[in-house]
Structure 1
Amino acid sequence: MSKHATLRSGAGGAAASDFGTRRWALLAMSVGVFCIQLDSFGLNLALPRIGRDLHADGAGLQWVISAYLLSTGTLMLGAGRLGDLFGRRRLLVAGLVVFAASTLCCALAPSLAVLVGARVVQGAGAAMIMPVGLALLTNVYPVELRGRATGWALGIGGIATACGPFIGGALTASVSWRAVFWLNVPLAVLGAVCASRTAESHDTGAPRSVDWGGLAAATAALAALSVVIDSGPRRPWPAAPVGLAVAAAMLFVYVRRERAASHPLVELGLFRNAPYMALTAAGAVANTTTVMFLFVVPLTLQGQWGLPVALAGTAFLAPALAMACAGPLAGRVPQRGAVPLMAGCLCGGAVALACLALTSSFMLYVAVATVGGAVLGVANSLTLIATQAVVRPERAGEASGVTKTVITVAAGLGVGPAGAVTDQNPGMGAEAAADTALLATAAGCLAACVVLAVWMRMRPRAFAGRTWNCEQR
């Protein structure tokens, strides 16, 4: 038996090939991703109502969104590796239970402070679900089905990503903003029940010891960086440099500990895996572009094209469905073609964003948005699917935690330029600001595509298919 087969047996055993086990794992991950993405994007249109009901101002309301995103992005790195060591099923169930309980607290929150606190805990649950769920699918599915299964789960999550603002807006208008949370409580409980019925999976080749100091340093660095990204421009001048200095210092401490640790939280050799790094970096650009796309297009449909919310949601249905369907399609991409396809997606995304900024026809705008949604959906799904294929299965949680952390932080960076759309600049209207933001993001996509193409040309052997199932050391 090969080393890879031994690791697969240790990670899942005979149960890894059982159809029932795989089915429950896929259903649990799909429900978890849907809940996470709905609560990421479903409250934007509900914030004014939340403010009126809880007697909160605009500055405090920002934390209803930020607290959740910051908590999720900060904790995913450690959660992925903890799942590898102590059981991916165990942490997935725990994450879904935490998510369900905190979502219930959000639905019942009597004040803004309670709501924000519950959102922090909700983000911690989400941080466990995503990387651990991806690693669980990697280990319970055979190689030939792994990408398709992950693609289906991400595609279902893509529905919530694209339609979340409109689902949240409709529930808020017809029922209450609390209904957004009530919807997710039974779904998260269902996900926990499904996860409990799948097989356990963990890294049998490593002792169950955690570099807690390294984990604390990495978490502190990510927390400081996330706060700077989220609120740095609104803070007094010294705040952002101080936050960046703290993040840099904690990162230095973390790297030193990892280099000396016998069992590091993240193997530094992971960052010498060329396909993994290329896909993660390109995925960060793609995720930032997706944030811009999801922010600008719905607002433009209501602003430039003058559609009410309901009609704007209907018009955005085609791009939303295209983005959701892209997940299963990305799961069918062979390993050798993933990096070139990612470069093509970045190029296609750049063209789509540029066309959105320049077109003056409504029908053409919707058609281009649909193509753009499909391209960006493939790129984002491919990031998470293909990076799992280029690392050892027993450390899949570690790799997915790093990837999700990187692309989440990148999405946070994308919120800054997206905010320009809503700035009331006397010298630039909302339409011009939106076009400028789209063109700037398109330029970034095109630059990333060129860098990726040059990288593949300079290191062709590193991107050959034969090296994809091992880590570059």
Structure 2
Amino acid sequence: MAEEGGPAARRRSLVAVSSGVFCVQLDAFALNPALPGIARDLGVTGAGLSWVVSGYLLAAGALMLGAGRLGDLLGRRALLTAGLVVFAVASLGCALAPSLPVLVIARVVQGAGGALTMPVGLALLTNAYPPASRGRALGWALGAGGTATACGPFLGGVLTEALSWRAVFWVNVPVALVAAVWAARAADSRDSAAPPTVDGKGLVTVTAAVAGLALLVDRGPVWGWLSGPTAVTLALVVVVLVVFVRCERVAANPLVGLGLFRNERFVALTAAGAVANAATVVFLFMVPLALQGPWGLSSAVAGSVFLAPATAMALAGPVAGRIPRAGTVRAMAWCLGLGAAGLGAVSRVPTLPGRISAATVCGAALGVANALTLIATQTAVAPERAGEASGVTKTVITVAAGLGVALCGPVAGPYGAPVSARALGGALTDAGLCCLAGALLLGLRSRRRLPGLPSRRRRTRTGD
């Protein structure tokens, strides 16, 4: 692991990554309230509007895995800076887009910039900070992302109503450009034990497989889960994944060391994070509707009431960063358990203060779980392969977020119009049951010690 820079360079790294994570998460969650305005201004009708959201998420999900490892090999500072510049330029393109096709193309490019920013940025912080303060640094960066995630829908609605949907994109431009300047002066690091060569076959096949899987999750509810297009897409994803595994088995320097998937601690935490992220999407979509409930609150009032659980979620990152490594699996199990209880209660408690309290506990628990996933998986691998680990984890939880959106589909229309209180409660209950199952499985696993870092002799090849 090659590393440079002292405390000042570390602070620049933290500011750059925190700002970048904020922008990426904001644009993943702030745009839904702006969709009606986009449709009206650009004269869009039909299903084409959904690609404004889907294009961003598909590009980000498909490219994150490869981007993380490329940062390890080519230098994390350069790729983070490039990702932030691409994100800023694409945001400018979105803000100025004269038509839907131009907007969708700009959103895809924006997703590519986000794919470079997230896993590479987390890996850069992992290597910039010593072990004693690494978790806290990651926690602050992820806290910025949690703030954007929780407040994104509210901020998107305010900007759209007060100014224009284009303001949602204009906000990113100066923030991302300033972050790029800080990133260019941040502490650099790379995996100096591996040659700076890219496993091209692995990169192409894994990107194609993840893109197909993300497309399947996104389009499945539209096509029908038992339809022909769904079956064909699933078959292609399986075939390409088999080809990817075969390529990685024979590659001298694989893009993803398959030994990573034998790291039980990493796999358990990533799987738990996928459950938490899917539940978080359900939480963000459904809880504001549940808070309206029988009291007939307007969307604006419900959004204001939701600020309490949103704030709890935003503050969770720094809290997660202070949980010691030895307690991460147990803490994750408790967070999923509390999240399950909160999701189950939020549509059933008969009083508004009770629902707000349940939602606040749930938001805090899911916020800690999401941040802890990305922090703890970084400690489960050797630092020189941190980008590889963060790329895999971010890819998995991004695809899981798509499953959360699919779970919300039968309950809400394109702009969040509720269909029925029963369906609303059902979606929250389903998400809660998934959290409960994850908590029980983690609890059982934590009764025996999960393997951590391997011996130094095995790290370079497997990334365990």
TM-score range, shorter-chain basis?
A: over 0.9
Taking structure 1 as reference, are residues 184 and 303 closer, same or farther at Cα in structure 2, changes over 3 Å only? farther
The alignment's TM-score, normalised by the length of structure 1, stands at 0.93
Describe the SS at the equivalent of 1:421.
coil
Describe the SS at the equivalent of 2:281.
helix
Question: 1:250 aligns to what?
Answer: 240
Worse-superposed segment, 305-314 or 442-451? 305-314
Describe the SS at the equivalent of 2:300.
helix
2:382–2:463: 8 Å Cα contact kept in structure 1? no
**1:178 pairs with 2:166:** yes
User: 1:296-375 to 2 correspondence within 5 Å?
Assistant: 296-302=286-292, 304-375=294-365
Question: 2:401 aligns to what?
Answer: 411
1:70–1:227: 8 Å Cα contact kept in structure 2? yes
Which amino acid counterpart does residue 342 of structure 2 have in structure 1?
Answer: A
Taking structure 1 as reference, are residues 58 and 297 closer, same or farther at Cα in structure 2, changes over 3 Å only? farther
**1:21 pairs with 2:9:** yes
Question: 1:229 aligns to what?
Answer: 217
Give distance in 2, aligned partners of 1:106 and 1:300: 32
**1:373 CA drift (Å):** 0.6
**1:420 pairs with 2:384:** no
Worse-superposed segment, 463-472 or 214-223? 463-472
Give distance in 2, aligned partners of 1:423 and 1:126: 27
Question: 2:128 aligns to what?
Answer: 140
**1:396 pairs with 2:411:** no
Give distance in 2, aligned partners of 1:242 and 1:303: 41
Question: 2:71 aligns to what?
Answer: 83
Question: 1:39 aligns to what?
Answer: 27
Question: 1:126 aligns to what?
Answer: 114
**1:273 pairs with 2:263:** yes
**1:418 CA drift (Å):** 1.0
Give distance in 2, aligned partners of 1:308 and 1:36: 29
**1:188 pairs with 2:172:** no
Question: 1:294 aligns to what?
Answer: 284
Taking structure 1 as reference, are residues 202 and 326 closer, same or farther at Cα in structure 2, changes over 3 Å only? same
User: 1:69-108 to 2 correspondence within 5 Å?
Assistant: 69-108=57-96
Identity %: 58
Give distance in 2, aligned partners of 1:402 and 1:170: 34
The alignment's TM-score, normalised by the length of structure 2, stands at 0.95
Root mean square deviation of aligned Cα:
1.8
Aligned length: 456
1:357–1:435: 8 Å Cα contact kept in structure 2? yes
1:336–1:464: 8 Å Cα contact kept in structure 2? no
Which amino acid counterpart does residue 182 of structure 1 have in structure 2?
Answer: W
**1:203 pairs with 2:191:** yes
1:274–1:472: 8 Å Cα contact kept in structure 2? no
**1:200 CA drift (Å):** 1.7
Give distance in 1, aligned partners of 2:168 and 2:452: 46
**1:153 pairs with 2:153:** no
Give distance in 2, aligned partners of 1:262 and 1:354: 49
2:290–2:346: 8 Å Cα contact kept in structure 1? no
1:279–1:383: 8 Å Cα contact kept in structure 2? yes
Give distance in 2, aligned partners of 1:31 and 1:68: 18
Taking structure 1 as reference, are residues 223 and 238 closer, same or farther at Cα in structure 2, changes over 3 Å only? same
Describe the SS at the equivalent of 1:210.
coil
Describe the SS at the equivalent of 1:176.
coil
**1:303 CA drift (Å):** 5.2
**1:304 CA drift (Å):** 4.3
2:81–2:184: 8 Å Cα contact kept in structure 1? yes
Question: 2:432 aligns to what?
Answer: 442
1:326–1:381: 8 Å Cα contact kept in structure 2? yes
Give distance in 1, aligned partners of 2:326 and 2:92: 44
Q: Deviations over 1:18-71 (max 9, x none)?
A: 111010000001110111111111110110110010010140110110100011
**1:472 CA drift (Å):** 7.7
